[in-house]
A and B are shown apart, each in its own frame.
Chain A
Amino acid sequence: MFDDLRDLYQDVILDRARHPRHGGRLAAFDATAEADNPMCGDRVRVWIARDDAGRLGGVGYEGCGCAISLASADLMAEAVIGKDAAAAREAAARFESLARGGTLTSDDPAFGPLGVFAGVAEFPSRVKCATLPWGALVAALGGGA
């Protein structure tokens, strides 16, 4: 009955939602921002810390949301750690088009694991869940330069 739902709820997504690798706030950080979805009450806050070279040395998050949004936050953190602000913003834009269009448009190896979100495009009401943490990340990148 749920065979087609496996496109949406891939094992990686269920696993990351249950066992996050990057969850939690950073003790020391350079910027933080929150994104929320007023339609449903989901919220994600992202903390970022820059290293000496200006790259993202650490990314943490806390939030309350569905499996899609929490797994997205966790995989986002993994994908952008080590990138500079411009590359992280570009990743956010590529993720948005992935979630909306269902096609991966990056050959960046760090982006690969995010391909599990391609199935979200088939569920228009859930796209916002996947992009929510990226919105918080972009907001954090914009503040506290």
Chain B
Amino acid sequence: MNVDTRPAAADLSGLRADFPILSQKIRGLPLVFLDSAASAQKPRVVIEAMREAMETQYANVHRGLHWMSERTTDAYESVRDAVAALINAASREEIVFTRNSTEAINLVAHSFGRGILRPGQAVVISEMEHHSNIVPWQMLRDAHGIELRVCPVSDAGELDLAALGELLADRRVGLVSVTHMSNVLGTYVPARRVARLAHEHGARVLFDGSQAIVHRRIDVQAIEADFYAFTGHKLYGPTGIGVLWARRELLEAMPPFLGGGDMIGTVRFERSTWAAIPHKFEAGTPAILEAIGLGAAIRYVETVGYAAIAAHEAALTDHALAIVSAVPGLRILGAAQDRGGVVSFTMENAHAHDVATLLDRQGIAVRAGHHCAEPLMARFGVESTARASFALYTTRAEVDALAAGLHRVREFFA
């Protein structure tokens, strides 16, 4: 007897009312927003938290001896605790606020890459990386004599672990930096297996969790990661705030990234000393309001619960894969066993942009293009795809609308 061990799909439709923007109509049609993997919509609690901070308790952080600054510092620093709890970091000092995932990865490429890695060592990325996890390593390669190695993905869109083992075999790899969930294929990478493989060969491991953390609970200790990067705006928070988590001993060993205020111990013209972690990596006035917004987003996600979110999105994704793939001439990229709520596809006789424009006319927002993953497009022999992505507020009716819309697009271009 087959037993479905997955939890039953949760009914989250009541949560749509928490997102003011979702009640909008586009050209008189209800908005079907299927582009959350690019950036998610914001619940009212996030909007309110940022507004309230500006109206009642705003000043710069870590500077003033006055009431306002102390309150703002408390609010800002409490988000560090919330992030540490969210991803089960060993301590709050391991949480570094950045602008986004891109900046977090650049921080590692710069500080760990130039400060710890030695010329002649290698960094391994994969074929399914976002440009933000490719270009910083190319810059490191060119500036610091680091070799860049690329781990292939299978036709199903899964990381080739055997190939990864071979890339690590000469023990010259200092860091494996891969996505935790592909923004194009939806593939979840088996993070702990990758981490163990890396560690067995003397390499550290970074996961780009920009997509992964939106859909599942992340435990950085359980997956045995060394670095984990994510961004706030995909996690229902505002833009301009991201997170780098790293093991304490790594952050302590790494030189600073940006120099300026807030990251110093003492400053003399002869030399300066650095603040303790995490402030060593947070130069200048941080994104105070955005951090407060991220804190509200994390509380919101925790209240809904990752178990409910994961079950809801898994059911949506299964449904989407079934009815979208039934559209004649439609090809879905990737068929990973373990995947999140992202479905990329091409349509025979219609370019992804044309598909997106015709869907848009039906009030359906999808992304079309190369999704900042040109090497992955080349790997699958396509120039671009259209992509539908799901969030906790996505409904089954929206997925049905997508499939119906795609049938109409096909007829238009037939």
Chain A interface (Cβ < 8 Å from any Cβ of B): 1-2, 4-5, 8-9, 14, 18, 39-43, 64-68, 123, 125-126, 129
Asked if B358 and A2 make an inter-chain contact with CB atoms under 8 angstroms apart, the answer reads: yes
Asked if B361 and A1 make an inter-chain contact with CB atoms under 8 angstroms apart, the answer reads: yes
Asked if A41 and B384 make an inter-chain contact with CB atoms under 8 angstroms apart, the answer reads: yes
Chain B nearest CB from A41 CB (Å) reads 4
Chain A residues whose CB sits within 8 angstroms of the CB of B358 once the complex forms: 2, 5
How many A-B pairs have beta carbons closer than 8 Å: the answer is 53
Residues of B in contact (CB 8 Å), total: 20
Asked if B384 and A126 make an inter-chain contact with CB atoms under 8 angstroms apart, the answer reads: no
Asked if A40 and B370 make an inter-chain contact with CB atoms under 8 angstroms apart, the answer reads: yes
Asked if B351 and A66 make an inter-chain contact with CB atoms under 8 angstroms apart, the answer reads: yes
The answer to whether B269 has its CB under 8 Å from any CB of chain A is no
Chain B interface (Cβ < 8 Å from any Cβ of A): 349-354, 357-358, 361-362, 368-370, 374, 377, 383-384, 408, 412-413
A41-B369, A66-B351 given; A9·B412 CB < 8 A: yes
Partner of B354, one of A1, A41, A67: A67
Q: Which B residue sits closest to A63, measured CB to CB?
A: B383
Asked if B357 and A41 make an inter-chain contact with CB atoms under 8 angstroms apart, the answer reads: no
Q: Closest 10 CB pairs between A and B?
A: A66-B351, A66-B353, A41-B370, A40-B369, A64-B383, A66-B354, A41-B384, A67-B354, A41-B383, A5-B361
Asked if B412 and A68 make an inter-chain contact with CB atoms under 8 angstroms apart, the answer reads: no
The CA of A114 and the CA of B412, in the complex, are separated in Å by: 22
Asked if B354 and A68 make an inter-chain contact with CB atoms under 8 angstroms apart, the answer reads: yes
Partner of B374, one of A2, A14, A41: A41
A2-B412, A9-B412, A40-B368 given; A126·B357 CB < 8 A: yes
A-B contact pairs, 7 of them (CB 8 A): A5-B358, A8-B357, A9-B354, A14-B413, A42-B384, A68-B354, A123-B357
Chain A nearest CB from B54 CB (Å) reads 32
Chain B residues whose CB sits within 8 angstroms of the CB of A18 once the complex forms: 349
